[in-house]
Structure 1
Amino acid sequence: MLRMIKKILNLSGEYGKYIKLSIVFSFFSGIFASMPLMSVFYFFYKFEENNYSHIEKDTIWKCVGIFAISIIGGIITKYFTYRFQGVSGYYMVAKERLSIGDHLRRVPMSFFNKNSLGDVTMAITSDLQYVESQAPQLLDWIINGTITSVISAITLMIFNFKLGIIFIIALIAALLICNAMQNIGKDEAVGQKERQSKAANSTLEYIRGIATFKMYRMSGKSTDKIKNSYREYGTACAKTEYKLIPLCGLFLGTLKAACGVIIIAAPYMALNGETTIATAAMIIIASFNVFSPVENLGVASGMLRMMEANLDRIDKVKQFEVIDADGKNIELKSFDIDVSNVSFSYENRGKKEDIDEEKDITIKNVSFKVKPSSMTAIVGASGCGKTTMTRLVSRFFDVQAGSIKIGGMDIREHTCDSLLKNISMVFQNVYLFNDTIINNIRFGNPNATMEEVVDAAIKARCHEFITNLPNGYDTMVGEGGAALSGGEKQRISIARAILKDTPIVLLDEATANIDPENEVYIQDAINELVKDKTLIVIAHRLNTVKDADQIVVMDNGEISDIGTHKELIKKEGIYKCFWDIRQNANAWQVRNA
């Protein structure tokens, strides 16, 4: 329990002071809530003092005053309790979401291979939402419940030692049961969270692949998978509850039994002269509420097991090592690229000595240099490592052997931001955010003016189709850019890169899936993008790269040859083979047999 309190307060950071203030006001709220009981005790005490014959008006007014102070004080303290709880919860989690977002931006892309998207999604959404809504209240119940229970025990011991002993015995028994509930819940919560993530993954997979499911008439089987994942999640939740229900009943039964014993014992003691009628009356009335803080502790134990599982999953995301932990903000003065003896394996992402199996190696001893303001093309068969090279240059992954230098500086010495501010990338598969066109283009430069955005769009050959849309630049593109065609999305991504205006540009099959009509526009857009830039381009269409300053030919993760187009077609190698195949393919025709 103390560990959980510490974790929540650490998570709250600068907003921890608001949680502490909410606990302080909640404590005073509890004092004001107990004041009516003090009023009842004072009333019976005075009534007993006057031999049960009369009550003075002064006594009545004092009791009314205590009630009034209790109501007004309770309203004020509750207001500040809820206000500070709300502030601490919402701001704490807002800060944490931004922190996790920044952390994910700096992890190597292998993180998303090792961890399911469902786990990450649930951690950022439902787990943090639970922390947001429950953490401040949970701390309030635990801390104030503990303090109130201790004060109640001491008070009962002062008024009547025997009744105080009954309360303490019930309290100890209830806390032991609560601890058993906590241990069971902790064990079950892990499996519960795993099945929750599995259900989330199944749902995401179904939504993403729904067109394929429909095409191959597999929708029935696909929904069976989702149903099974949710059934497993429901079974895990039910299993937890089945184990906890008997203990919950025993927990509440213990408290209610102790309350019943106190209610019977108090008047009996008063009749035997062991306590006063005023004290007995106060104890009887107090017994209905004295165990409320303890009951809250029981409820908190259930919340606590879920909170711990949630925080553990959040910590798992946060603890994944960032790729630029030792990086520095470095300003580059030149933009030549030197790839020297680089090796890399997706299977073994550790050091060089971890790459021990030939079949695991994606890139092996690759070396080439790219001069500033020149064009280097990387060509080769699918799976030969072309895209991996661009990912390594942009430091989406770190090399395991060798080095990549830009401007003479090893890219591993940079922070991600200081490196990537010099690099623009245009991918084969474009992703646009579910936002307006102007904001998607501004992603390349958030501070760009409207005139700069329009200028970039004109250069990217997308201004005309944007202005023909109903809302122009304020048109929402839909999730992933669903409202636009492939060619339109590609041109917007190029406009984004033009607006970023970096000295290095990486093009990964930017025209691979584009129809001939759009290819003309996109090629013009790319020509605008790469003016006076250091360019690395991956292409299957060799016509688009035959004018490159150098062509790097890759085969099974290694460099097969390097040279210009004219040099390579004179050699009997892979490039010439590709070129001949492409030239023959241009003459292919589809005929009706």
Structure 2
Amino acid sequence: MITIVRLLAALVDRPHRRQLTRVVAMFVTTGVLQGLAFACVVPVLDAALRQDWDAATTWLGVLAGLFVAHHIALTVGNLDGYDLACDLLDITLSRLGDHTVRLPLGWYDQDRTGQLSRMASKGATDIASVPGHLLRPLIAAVVSPVTVVVAMAFLEWRLALALLVGVVAVLATTRLLAVIVGRGEGAYDAAMAEGSARVVEFALNQPALRVFGRTVHGNELVETALRDQKRASRRLLVTGFGGLGIQLLSIQALLTLVIALAVHLSLGGTLAPAIAIGLLVLTVRFVESLIDYGELSSALRIAEGSLRRVLDVLALEPLPEPATPAEPADSGIELREVAFSYDGAAQVLDQVSLTVPPRSLTAVVGPSGSGKSTLLRLVARFHDVTAGSVRLGGVDVRDLGTEALMRRVSIVFQDVYLFEGTLRDNVMMSRPDATEEELEEAARLARVDDIVERLPHGWQTRIGEAGSTLSGGEKQRVSIARALLKDAPVVLLDEATAALDAENEAAVQEALTALSADRTVIVIAHRLQTVVAADQIVVLDGGLIVERGSHSELLVHGGRYLDFWRERTQAEGWRLLEAPQTPQSP
């Protein structure tokens, strides 16, 4: 419990830390007052059984005062706790949102959908539930029994000692259970996040799945993720209920021990029967608090796990930003002896040096895994290089800063994502203040004007989630229109024509020509015919630049590029032959 209070303090700012301290202090006060009220039952019963009504009245007055003070403290603490819970929900979501947009774009290369969505939904709710619902009963379940033990020490030290030993044993059992549940909860949360990501993926890719008959059965990734969820849930339940059963047995054993000891002392004449009855009543209430603690500790551990995962994300360091961003001289790009590896793994790029002059078109070709996409991502600073430097206009991109760099760079990915909304919204998002003339010009150059004419409501047509009403080629043309409208001096294209039909490829090729007219363009080329007019072609293989030059120069050179050209040319000459017709019998 102390741990989660410390973690909450790490999440919030100073004013909310003070509020958290007040909430904890108020709930501790509530627990002490509750324990003292329970302890007052003993003298009240003793005085009543001895028919000492003056003493009974006095102790009843003390009990009433404790009751009123307890309810005042409880009301104040609950109101402050609920207020903090609402703020915590907002703080968690705000800090996650503010921080994740500052993380390197390379962090999103992995599938973060399930992880972040779970943090922003169940995780944030779990965290907010701590001051709103968990802290008060948990603090009361610890502080109240401790107060009872202290009070009982003045009444009958032997029973107090027995309770103290029992409390230590029960808390140790609870701690062990919390550790076990925490491990299971981590696996459970990972399984739930994976399941959420796979379900979202399943929903977004229905067209492809249905084409291949993967509608109900045969979706192994989703089915495996859901099975893992079920197994993780079952393990968590079995572990939780099993541990809770052991915990309840230890508490019942403690109660039996105290009752036996009280009966023994009473029969031996060393403990007055009236005091014994009062102490047993007090013991029963004491045990109820321990049961409450055991039942709530699992919920606390789950909330702690959610809080740790949020803090782990918040602890991720954004890429360093310069105090004063430098100003590049032009849009030329230079890589100087660049080396890069992902998380200390094998080198993806090794001593790569490349100069891309301003307002030129450079094509990057090579086999899969040669480092083409990584090269583009380093230019856009999705990651920082392991060694060497990437420069824009003579300035290291690390000295430009992310915001300044993103203003100067447009990226067109192979996998285009369009947002729910109108076609106009999706193009204008790159530059919301663009004029109608600029929008129309970008649409014309990217051949999006054809799409506008075809759609029933033109620019105001809603294109569905992820642009589901458009074809793959049309989505690609929309993404190029975004890049044109942004009017950034540097454009990076990652295999923008890899999966297009001939008509869309021709349209995209025209758009690429328009892009490279007065911009610095680097394009990863899958179809070599689309980049034969490039100012230079760079051939990557195994993380190294093995060739560079124009199309004609590389064909004469007779190296890897010539092999690629022959393979692509031969592949494009392939065609399916019609089966011979079987003569019909008369």
**TM-score normalised according to structure 1 size:** 0.76
For residue 470 of structure 2, the aligned residue among 468, 480, 484 is: 484
SS of the residue aligned with 1:405? strand
- Offset at residue 434 of structure 1 (A): 4.2
Shift of 1:506: 0.8
After superposition, residues 289-308 of structure 1 pair within 5 angstroms as: 289-308=285-304
Q: Distance in 2 between matches of 1:80 and 1:144?
A: 16
1:559 partner letter = I
Tell me if the contact between 2:365 and 2:538 (Cα under 8 Å) persists in the aligned partners.
yes
State whether structure 2 residue 510 is matched by structure 1 residue 539: no
Contact 1:39 / 1:66 at 8 angstroms: preserved in 2?
no
What is the aligned-residue identity percentage?
27
Distance apart, 1:10 and its partner CA:
1.1
2:24 is matched with: 23
Q: Which amino acid aligns with 2:520?
A: T
Q: Shift of the alpha carbon at 1:119? A: 5.4
Alignment pair present for 1:404 and 2:390: yes
1:462 matches 2:448: yes
* Other-structure match for 1:562: 548
Q: 1:549 to 1:289 in 2, by over 3 A?
A: same
CA distance in 1, matches of 2:495, 2:442: 21
Aligned counterparts of 2:534 and 2:554: Cα–Cα separation in 1? 12
Partner amino acid, structure 1, of 2:292: N
> What secondary structure is seen at the aligned counterpart in 2 of 1:421?
helix
AA partner of residue 106 (structure 1): P
Amino acid of the structure 2 residue aligned with 1:132? A
Write out aligned runs for 1:132-281 (5 A).
132-134=128-130, 137-158=133-154, 161=157, 164-193=160-189, 196=192, 211-212=208-209, 215=212, 219-220=217-218, 222=220, 225-226=224-225, 228-241=227-240, 243-254=242-253, 256-257=255-256, 274=272
Deviation of 1:339 after TM superposition, in Å, equals 2.0
Once the two structures are superposed, residues 504-535 of structure 1 have per-residue CA deviations (whole angstroms, 9 ceiling, x without a partner) of 11122223323343345444544554452221
- Tell me if the contact between 2:412 and 2:479 (Cα under 8 Å) persists in the aligned partners: yes
Higher mean C-alpha deviation, range 17-26 or range 72-81 = 72-81
The 1:391/1:42 distance shift into structure 2, 3 A limit, reads: same
- The 1:47–1:304 alpha-carbon spacing in structure 2 relative to 1, beyond 3 Å, is closer
Corresponding residue for 1:73?
72
Residue 541 of structure 1, CA deviation: 3.9
Structure 1 letter corresponding to 2:486: K
User: Any idea what SS the aligned residue of 1:366 has?
Assistant: strand
User: 1: distance between equivalents of 2:458 and 2:81?
Assistant: 45
Q: For 1:79-120, what per-residue CA distance to the aligned partner results, in whole angstroms no more than 9, with x for missing partners?
A: 5144224224312321342255235x32645x755x886556
Distance 1:215 1:92 in 2: 44
Do structure 1's residue 86 and structure 2's residue 82 form an aligned pair?
no
Contact 1:33 1:70 in 2 (8 A): no
Residue 3 of structure 1: how far off its partner (Å): 3.6
Matched, 1:386 2:372: yes
- Aligned equivalent of 1:419: 405
Using the alignment, how far apart are the partners of 2:6 and 2:66 within structure 1?
37
What is the CA–CA distance in structure 1 between the aligned matches of 2:87 and 2:18, rounded to whole Å?
8
Q: Does 1:518 align with 2:504?
A: yes
- Between the two proteins, the alignment pairs up a number of residues equal to 573
1:448 matched to 2:433? The reply is yes
The amino acid that maps onto 1:233 is: A
Matched, 1:493 2:491: no
SS at match of 1:507: strand
Distance 2:141 2:127 in 1: 19
Distance in 2 (alpha carbons) for counterparts of 1:410 and 1:489: 33
Find 2:416's aligned residue among 430, 455, 477: 430
For the residues of structure 2 that align with 1:186 and 1:498, how far apart are their CA atoms? Answer: 51
Alignment CA distance shift 1:496-1:258 (3 Å): farther
Deviates further, 217-226 or 531-540: 217-226
1:362 CA displacement: 4.3
Could you tell me which of 373, 377, 381 is aligned with 2:363?
Answer: 377
Residue number in structure 2 paired with 1:358: none
Q: How does 1:119-134 map to 2 (within 5 A)?
A: 122=118, 125-134=121-130
Structure 1: gaps (5+ residues): 356-360
Partner deviation per Cα, 1:489-513 (whole Å, 9 max, x = no partner) = 2233223323433221112222332
Aligned alpha-carbon RMSD (Å): 4.8
Structure 2 gap ranges (5+): 580-586
Partner of 1:508: 494
Q: How far apart, CA to CA, are the structure 2 residues paired with 1:286 and 1:207?
A: 57
Amino acid at match of 1:375: L
Q: Is the 8 A contact 1:437 1:473 kept in 2?
A: yes
Q: Tell me if structure 1 keeps the 8 A contact 2:145–2:289.
A: yes
2:526 & 2:179 partners in 1: Cα distance?
59
CA contact (8 A) 1:336 1:534 kept: yes
Alignment match, 1:395: 381
Partner-residue secondary structure (3-state), 1:84: helix
Deviation at 1:410, TM superposition (A): 2.4
Paired position in structure 1 for 2:337: 341
* SS of corresponding position for 2:290: helix
Post-superposition offset of 1:483: 3.2
Counterpart of 1:73, as a letter, is: I
Which residue is equivalent to 1:106?
104
Superposed CA offset, 1:558-590 (max 9, x none): 434433445445554555565677677777766
- Pair 1:449–1:48, CA change in 2 (3 A): farther
- CA deviation after TM superposition for structure 1 residue 424, in Å: 0.8
Give the 3-state SS of the residue equivalent to 1:219 in structure 2: coil
Separation (CA, whole Å) in 1 of partners of 2:576 and 2:469: 32
Asked whether the equivalents of residues 456 and 495 of structure 1 are also in contact (C-alpha less than 8 Å), the reply is: no
Does the 8 Å CA contact 1:452/1:499 hold for their aligned counterparts?
no
Q: Distance in 1 between matches of 2:506 and 2:475?
A: 15
Matched, 1:330 2:326: yes
Deviations 1:325-352 (A, max 9, x none): 7897433332211123334455xx54xx
Query: Secondary structure, in 3 states, of the residue corresponding to 2:381?
Result: coil
Distance apart, 1:393 and its partner CA: 1.6
SS at match of 1:185: helix
